[in-house]
Structure 1
Amino acid sequence: MDKDSQAVSEQLTHALAESGLSQAAFATALGTSASRFSTYRSGRTKPTAQFFLRAGRIAHALHAAREYRIMTAPATATAIREANDEDWAWRMLLQGRDHLRLLLRRHDGSEAAWEAAPGTTGHAGFDTLLAVLTAHEFEAAGEDPPDWTKVDPLPERWIPEHPFMDRDEIIQRTPDYLAQANIFIPARDLATA
């Protein structure tokens, strides 16, 4: 392996370690497969310069988020997946969204932690909702949403149970950006204290 390829391989290995994720999770975060990422690390395949720079930038942001105990998209998806009940899953989703808002306000590149594509939450509705909420927050901050947030609407309406609203009220009080994804949640339920 030539010196440049060796340096790329070493830097990708460093980025993987810095990310704090498994190779499979880091590959997912970067929008590639674990086997493809392995070929980049071994030098068998050369990544694009864009991929190489992105890997370092996202790894650094994930590391910083972990140090400051800020949730990232992968951490939020994991927390939702591991939640014991749906109420806790909602709390984790909204906490992750609130952490994203904080990062977007900083304007220091730390929002790159949310460019990292998450694995599945284990629930198609939450997967789509996480993507749509993330895209909405990036757009509200005047930033381009990460590629992983470009998702198709759910094939069927998802209207989670509500303690005191009926389906028609829920649909009526749902923001347009959620309704377009076939997700129906009253705007007030997305507010946090």
Structure 2
Amino acid sequence: MDKDSQAVVEQLNCALAESGLSQAAFATALGTSASRFSTYRSGRTKPTAQFFLRARRIGHALHAAREYRIMTAPATAAAIREANDEDWAWRMLLQGRDHLRLLLRRHDGSEAAWEAAPGTTGQAGFDTLLAVLTAREFEAAGENPPEWSSVEALADPWIPQHPFLERDEIIEQTPAYLAAVNIFVPARDLVTA
């Protein structure tokens, strides 16, 4: 293997280590398969310059987010998936969204941690909601949303149970950007203190 290829392999290994993720999870975060990422790490296949730079940037940002104790998209999806009940899943979703807001305000590159594509939450509604809220936060900050946050509308309406609102009231109080993806949640349920 030539010196440049060896340097690329070393940098990819460093990015993986910095990310704190497994090889499979980091590959998902980068938008590729674990097997493809393995070929990059072995030097059998050369990644594009864009992929290489994204891996370094995201690996570094995931490391910084861990040091700040800030949730990332993969961590938020995992917290939702592991939640014992739906109330806790909502808390994790909103906490992750609020952490993204903090990173976007820093303007130090750490927001790249949210470019890392998450694994599934285990529920299509939460997967889509996480993507839509992420895109909305990036757009509000004047940044381009990560590729993974561009999603199709759900095939069937998702209207989570509400403790005191009826179905029609939930639909009526849902912001248009959520209704556009077939998710119905009152705007006030997305507000945090």
State the TM-score, normalizing by the size of structure 1.
0.99
1:27-176 equivalences under 5 Å are: 27-176=27-176
Amino acid aligned to 1:166: E
Instruction: Please state whether the residue corresponding to 2:44 is helix, strand or coil.
Output: coil
Distance 1:21 1:176 in 2: 35
Amino acid aligned to 2:159: I
How far does residue 3 in structure 1 lie from its aligned partner after superposition?
0.7
Distance 2:138 2:174 in 1: 19
Distance 1:166 1:183 in 2: 15
How far does residue 20 in structure 1 lie from its aligned partner after superposition?
0.1
Amino acid aligned to 1:81: R
Unpaired segments of 5 or more residues in structure 1? none
Q: Deviations over 1:61-86 (max 9, x none)?
A: 00000011100000000000000000
Instruction: Please state whether the residue corresponding to 2:31 is helix, strand or coil.
Output: coil
Distance 1:107 1:171 in 2: 36
1:13-24 equivalences under 5 Å are: 13-24=13-24
Unpaired segments of 5 or more residues in structure 2? none
How far does residue 119 in structure 1 lie from its aligned partner after superposition?
0.2
Give the number of equivalent residue pairs: 193
CA RMSD of the aligned region, Å? 0.5
Partner of 1:185: 185
Distance 1:110 1:9 in 2: 23
How far does residue 45 in structure 1 lie from its aligned partner after superposition?
0.5
State the TM-score, normalizing by the size of structure 2.
0.99
Amino acid aligned to 1:54: R
Q: Deviations over 1:144-175 (max 9, x none)?
A: 10000011100000000011111111111111
Distance 1:93 1:161 in 2: 16
State the percentage of identical aligned residues. Answer: 86
Q: Deviations over 1:116-143 (max 9, x none)?
A: 0000000010000000000011011111
The runs of at least 4 aligned residues of structure 1 exceeding 6 Å deviation read: none
